[in-house]
Chain A
Amino acid sequence: MPELALRHVTKLFGDTVAVDDLSLDIRNGEFVCLLGPSGCGKTTTLRMIAGFETVDRGSILLDGEDITAMPPQARDIGLVFQHYALFPHMTVAQNVGYGLRMRRLPAARVAKEVAAALDLVRLGSLAARYPSQLSGGQQQRVALARALAIRPRLLLMDEPLSNLDAKLRDDMRAEIRRVQRQVGITAIFVTHDQSEAFGLADRIAIMTQGRLRQMAEPAAIYEAPANATVGAFIGQVNALSGRIVALDGEHARLGLDTGLEIAGTGRELRPGAAATSIVKQERIQLSRQQPQGENVFPCRIEAQTYLGGTISYVCRLRQETVTVAVPNNRAFERFDTGEAAFASWSSADCHIFAA
């Protein structure tokens, strides 16, 4: 039985549909990231699961129990907030013990559970401090310990890393995943940051404009986007639009207005229909020698940006422009701006979607 199930969940704010007929299942012990641009409805979804927002249509089931109308305090769902939301007038220990006191556990039991929760996030020595005396990373750990201390049925996290600097963010990401595995709790993590989602999730649910676009393992999301929305949103991509000029099963050829013809793969395509091909920047090769195979086009390097780990080349193929990310590694050729080269990519890396 799935741990958490959303069934046709819909949320309206006035005339705006914030979440549109959203259905998904999250399995027991799974770590799921809700990924999408800001305003896509991911935080509203989280707040409905937590019980802070009412559900206009549809239902939410937790372990088979309908919790759609249950008040938040009865749900046993742990929450980690974007701005930590630690109680500033309570010590770390009082913050972590708050939920246990609300459950009227005896003081000795509360103290024991608080110590265990703080050990879990490696903050045992700071129990007597106030939140204002802690760094951002420490506050986030306290927030995590507080949410887990009540032994919730589900752990929800709303962009918990967005207030931390980059290095700390990586550490906290690993820490969150370690703690989640150790406790074995089902977790939902909301983020707009792709690398965060890919680094954390067992499965990623992509949302845009209130709708679920794809839910799959990170590799499947990356390698086999289900639609043009996901294809364009995930990774750094080049999108080229034209018409289907040839179709053989899932193999298609896309004719561009500029006369280029691109080989790719796609489903539910019709000959002559408008379509878009999407290829990720790092799946395009640049070479001085003309390579063998499909999708080989002469091009000219128009600009380049040194990004450290990669070098980003802007290349002109007739009237089209594509951006190519080349690893900054001796095994790969380097090009000067203005130089001629060949750009090529495999049809397997080129996804074609009906427009």
Chain B
Amino acid sequence: MRRLAAGAGWAYLTAVYVFVIGPLVFVAAESFNSARAFPAAFAGVTFHWYRAILAHPDFFSAAWTSTLIAAISSTVATAAAFTAGYALRRRGGQESALLSTLLASPLLVPQIVISLAMLQFAGLFGLGAGLLSLVAVHTIHGLPFALRLVLTGFARFNFSLEDASFSLGAGRLTTWREVTLPLLRPNLIAGFTFCFILSFVNLPISLFLTDAQTTTLPLVMFAYIESRIDPMLAAVATVVVVVAGIATLILERYLKIRLVE
């Protein structure tokens, strides 16, 4: 009986790894496939598709735009999550529960709808599609995730540490710099990184907000698939996965932050 349970446990674990890691391995393998179609049976090993990326400057400019949007929106979302989380935890009470639900509400709206709504909303201020609207929509999208991670940190934060700091002569900003932020640093970095990755790979929230100069990497990849399908896309995806993977490893190793628990 116990062996059966252990066997079922292993089978479950194996299935999880196969279905989570499997597609990534498949994509990575295809990026080295010398066959012309995608997906296709493995014909031989080539680095041709990685060289082919170099001939597409639009991928590079889109990757830069995506990095810029991800960096700015994650910074703003994490800062907003910190101040919101601070207020929610320091005040507590009924209205806080309501407010925290409200701040999580972007999760409930289909992303493509958020994108369309942002286009119309930005129009009210004379803004159209473009970098500013993209940053705004990515910030809104990241905020609930950053807030979750920051609130986890505040749940363990003892606010009498702030009182101690005040009584020793520190003002509010100094107290944040010396006490609150250092102690929440792991959560803030985790929140920032999570937002960054979510922003970098997200397709639908950008859909209506790109213009001729400003487009994101997932959108360029999507446009590329629409015209033709070859393993170069697999090569681009592999690069993204490897870069994100390395960033996560660095964070976990050197900052002792667990993004995946």
Chain A: residues with CB nearer than 8 A to chain B? 50-52, 71-79, 81, 83, 85-89, 98-99, 102-103, 146-147, 150
- Chain A residue numbers with a CB within 8 Å of B168 are 73, 98-99, 102, 146, 150
Contact (Cβ within 8 A) B167 A89: no
Contact (Cβ within 8 A) A85 B170: no
**With A85-B158, A87-B179 as contacts: A99 and B163 at CB distance below 8 Å:** no
Contact (Cβ within 8 A) B161 A87: yes
Contact (Cβ within 8 A) A83 B167: no
Contact (Cβ within 8 A) B166 A87: no
Residue of chain A at shortest CB distance from B185: A89
Q: Is B104 an interface residue (CB 8 A)?
A: no
Contact (Cβ within 8 A) A85 B169: no
- Chain A residue numbers with a CB within 8 Å of B179 are 87
Contact (Cβ within 8 A) A73 B171: yes
Per-residue interface assignment for chain B, residues 167 to 200, with 1 indicating a CB less than 8 Å from any chain A CB and 0 otherwise:
1111100100011001100000000000000000
List the 5 shortest-distance A-B pairs measured between CB atoms, nearest first. Answer: A99-B168, A102-B169, A72-B166, A85-B164, A79-B167
**With A85-B158, A88-B183, A89-B183 as contacts: A102 and B174 at CB distance below 8 Å:** yes
- Chain A residue numbers with a CB within 8 Å of B164 are 79, 81, 85-87, 146
Contact (Cβ within 8 A) B183 A79: no
- Chain B residue numbers with a CB within 8 Å of A73 are 166-171
- Chain A residue numbers with a CB within 8 Å of B170 are 73, 98, 102
- Chain B residue numbers with a CB within 8 Å of A71 are 166, 171
Contact (Cβ within 8 A) B169 A83: no
- Chain B residue numbers with a CB within 8 Å of A51 are 166-167
- Chain A residue numbers with a CB within 8 Å of B160 are 81, 83, 85
Minimum CB–CB distance from A44 to chain B (whole Å) comes to 14
Contact (Cβ within 8 A) B161 A85: yes
A-B contact pairs, 27 of them (CB 8 A): A51-B167, A52-B163, A72-B167, A73-B170, A74-B169, A79-B163, A79-B164, A79-B167, A81-B160, A81-B163, A83-B160, A85-B158, A85-B163, A85-B164, A86-B164, A87-B161, A87-B164, A89-B182, A98-B165, A98-B170, A98-B178, A99-B168, A99-B169, A102-B170, A146-B168, A147-B167, A150-B168
Minimum CB–CB distance from A135 to chain B (whole Å) comes to 19
Contact (Cβ within 8 A) B169 A103: yes
Which residues of B from 129 to 182 have beta carbons under 8 Å from A?
Answer: 158, 160-161, 163-171, 174, 178-179, 182
Contact (Cβ within 8 A) B167 A77: yes
Contacts A50-B163, A81-B160, A89-B183 given; 17 further ones with Cβ under 8 A? A51-B167, A71-B171, A72-B167, A73-B169, A76-B169, A77-B167, A79-B164, A85-B158, A85-B164, A87-B164, A87-B178, A89-B182, A98-B168, A102-B168, A102-B174, A146-B164, A150-B169
Partner of A72, one of B161, B163, B178, B183: B163
Q: How large is the interface on B (under 10, 10 to 19, 20 to 34, 35 or more residues)?
A: 10 to 19
How far apart are the CA atoms of A81 and B169 in the complex, in Å? 16
Residue of chain A at shortest CB distance from B160: A85
Minimum CB–CB distance from B126 to chain A (whole Å) comes to 43
Minimum CB–CB distance from B261 to chain A (whole Å) comes to 22
- Chain A residue numbers with a CB within 8 Å of B167 are 50-51, 72-73, 75, 77-79, 147
Residue of chain A at shortest CB distance from B174: A102
Per-residue interface assignment for chain B, residues 87 to 105, with 1 indicating a CB less than 8 Å from any chain A CB and 0 otherwise:
0000000000000000000
- Chain B residue numbers with a CB within 8 Å of A52 are 163, 166
Residue of chain B at shortest CB distance from A47: B163
Residue of chain B at shortest CB distance from A89: B182
How far apart are the CA atoms of A74 and B170 in the complex, in Å? 9
Per-residue interface assignment for chain B, residues 5 to 23, with 1 indicating a CB less than 8 Å from any chain A CB and 0 otherwise:
0000000000000000000
- Chain A residue numbers with a CB within 8 Å of B166 are 51-52, 71-73
How far apart are the CA atoms of A150 and B168 in the complex, in Å? 7
Count chain A CB atoms within 10 A of each CB in B158, B169, B171 and give the residue with the most. B169
How far apart are the CA atoms of A103 and B168 in the complex, in Å? 9
How far apart are the CA atoms of A85 and B171 in the complex, in Å? 17
How far apart are the CA atoms of A78 and B158 in the complex, in Å? 19
Minimum CB–CB distance from B224 to chain A (whole Å) comes to 48
**With A52-B166, A72-B166 as contacts: A83 and B182 at CB distance below 8 Å:** no
- Chain B residue numbers with a CB within 8 Å of A98 are 165, 168, 170, 178
How far apart are the CA atoms of A326 and B179 in the complex, in Å? 53
How far apart are the CA atoms of A71 and B182 in the complex, in Å? 24
Count chain A CB atoms within 10 A of each CB in B164, B165, B167 and give the residue with the most. B167
Minimum CB–CB distance from A54 to chain B (whole Å) comes to 14
- Chain B residue numbers with a CB within 8 Å of A74 are 169
- Chain B residue numbers with a CB within 8 Å of A78 are 167
- Chain A residue numbers with a CB within 8 Å of B182 are 89
Residue of chain B at shortest CB distance from A102: B169
Minimum CB–CB distance from A335 to chain B (whole Å) comes to 50
Residue of chain A at shortest CB distance from B169: A102
How far apart are the CA atoms of A171 and B163 in the complex, in Å? 27
Minimum CB–CB distance from A160 to chain B (whole Å) comes to 12
- Chain A residue numbers with a CB within 8 Å of B161 are 85, 87
Residue of chain B at shortest CB distance from A156: B167
Residue of chain B at shortest CB distance from A104: B169
Per-residue interface assignment for chain B, residues 193 to 218, with 1 indicating a CB less than 8 Å from any chain A CB and 0 otherwise:
00000000000000000000000000
